[in-house]
Amino acid sequence: MAESKRGRKPLDKIKSAAITLIQPTKSAQATTIQVDARPVNHLTEGIAPGLVPLVRVFDNAPEAEGLFASHFGINLSQMAGMSPEQLGQQTDMILQAKQFAEYIPIIEPLINDYIKAVVDYNTFIARAIKAGAKGIKEIDKSKLDVMLEWFGYKQHQEQLGRKADNEKLKLQAETDNFIVLSDFNLDMALKMKAIALNQQMEAASQRPELATQLAAERKVITERKTEIKQLIQYGTRGK
């Protein structure tokens, strides 16, 4: 109260203070260090930013700090410089993680079931693809077999057609030869008959009574020759 009467402000409104530390030295002189002793009165101000540059544990392993931060989301050396609001947000994160950890026993089997379902689905697809590939190979083989059979059938048909054509030509040639031979035989027979008739006519000329008979025979032979040619050329039905 005495200090208040002299006009000094309350402790919570003090902006700064000087603290004198006595350190033993050879000259036994006192050393004065100025320390910012202002209380944190705003949520955005760091609580103890002066501690941040004093962290030395990471000097020989600087990557350890980043590794810890990347794994756990907390920067240890910067915590002292964080504001109450930032620390509160960090605490929220920690509490959320702690609360979430309580549900892990429930979530974990569900995750495992889900993973198994995804694995089963993928292995099912793999089996289907494997079976499908095998089936496609069988189908391709069947297609090849059908194509070869069809090609063989077409070749067979072509061979039969060629053989039929050859047989037709052969039969036609035989028929032509038969006709030619028949005509030749007929001509020879007629010629021989004509020769015989001529001889008979010559002989008959000496006998007038046979002239009429020879003429009738000659007419019959001529008509028969014409009939035979028509049968060979036009068949039994004629023209």
Q: Which amino acid is at 160?
A: L
Q: Smallest Cα–Cα separation from 197: which of 213, 186, 209?
A: 213
Over its C-alpha atoms, the chain yields an Rg (Å, rounded) of 66
Give the tokens for residue 133: 């590939």
According to the model, what pLDDT value does residue 232 have?
66
pLDDT of residue 235: 67
pLDDT, tens only, 142-169: 999 999 999 898 898 888 888 888 888 8
**What integer pLDDT is reported at residue 104 of this predicted model?**
94
Q: What is the pLDDT of residue 35?
A: 40
What pLDDT score was predicted for residue 135? 95
Q: What is the pLDDT of residue 164?
A: 87
Distance CA 126, CA 23 (A): 78
> Is-contact 214 201, C-beta < 8 A?
yes
> Residue 46 — φ and ψ, nearest 5°?
-65, 145
Q: Break the chain down into helix, strand, coil percent, rounded to 5.
A: 75, 5, 20
Euclidean distance between CA atoms 230 and 235, whole angstroms: 7
Q: Please, which residues have CB within 8 angstroms of residue 119's CB and are 6 or more apart in sequence?
A: none
Phi, psi for residue 55 in degrees, rounded to 5: -75, 120
pLDDT tens, residue by residue, 86-143? 888 989 999 999 999 999 999 999 999 999 999 999 999 999 999 999 999 999 999 9
